[in-house]
Structure 1
Amino acid sequence: MPMTQQYAATEPTRTEVDALPGATVLEFGAPWCGYCQRAQPALAEAFAVHPALRHLKIEDGSGRRLGRSFHIKLWPTLVFLRDGQEVARLVRPTESEPIREAMRRIA
């Protein structure tokens, strides 16, 4: 499954996310966010090494329940899940190695 390019305007429920089998990377952010845009090359490098990981790119903001349920404060925030359980989290990553390391932990 390749890296998702577009933010999903419709988010899954927390129950749906918690029930996801296997490895998942949740990316919370917004298309207009400068920090989110700067993180994309590092994310692309990391997903090139781990292309089979599920990637859910969720547009976050005020009133968005999924982001609040994960206590998202800054964008982008990456939440690394294994069978619906959080294993790692990165906030505003700028380099691919920390992302790849977190991906290794859930792969």
Structure 2
Amino acid sequence: MPQTLPYKERQLTRDEIDALDEAIVLDFGTDWCGHCNAAAPLVAAAMNGHAGVRHIKVEDGPGRRLGRSFGVKLWPSLIFVRKGQEIARLVRPGKQEDIEQALQALESAT
């Protein structure tokens, strides 16, 4: 089973995210969220083979501006971003295949 990392309390700003030139997956949630814990192995497995995509786990909740700027309402929310543009979004993903399809769309976006 792939190893999963904890959500990070340190918040990147929206400007920092928009300035990144690389393909990224923003993974909004919390370590105590049951849906997040259920999806974590699916996300980790799907990320294997996508070394060019950066996975950023963002702890979300009240007062967390980054999640609000992306309109996050449910956890986990995966937002696939390239050069500040949202390419795809998955909320509470239940299948690894859905995550892999979104990753492929992200990698093919220019």
Structure 1 stretches of 4+ with a deviation exceeding 6 A read: none
* Aligned equivalent of 1:78: 78
CA RMSD of aligned residues (A): 1.3
Cα displacement (A) at 1:94 = 1.3
Task: Determine if contact 1:4/1:57 at 8 Å carries over to the other structure.
Answer: no
Cα displacement (A) at 1:30 = 0.3
* Aligned equivalent of 1:27: 27
TM-score of the superposition, structure 1-length normalised? 0.93
Q: Which runs of 5+ in 2 are unaligned?
A: none
Deviates more, 1:44-53 or 1:97-106: 44-53
Letter in 1 for 2:98: P
* Aligned equivalent of 1:64: 64
The structure-2 alpha-carbon separation of the partners of 1:54 and 1:4, relative to structure 1 and needing over 3 Å to count, comes to farther
Deviates more, 1:58-67 or 1:42-51: 42-51
Percent of pairs identical after alignment? 52
SS at 1:49 equivalent: coil
Q: Which runs of 5+ in 1 are unaligned?
A: none
* Aligned equivalent of 1:48: 48
Task: Determine if contact 2:4/2:40 at 8 Å carries over to the other structure.
Answer: no
Cα displacement (A) at 1:4 = 6.2
Cα displacement (A) at 1:54 = 0.4
Q: How many Å separate the matches in 1 of 2:7 and 2:81?
A: 18
Letter in 2 for 1:25: V
TM-score of the superposition, structure 2-length normalised? 0.91
Partner deviation per Cα, 1:9-59 (whole Å, 9 max, x = no partner): 011000000111120000000000000000011111101131331011000
* Aligned equivalent of 1:17: 17
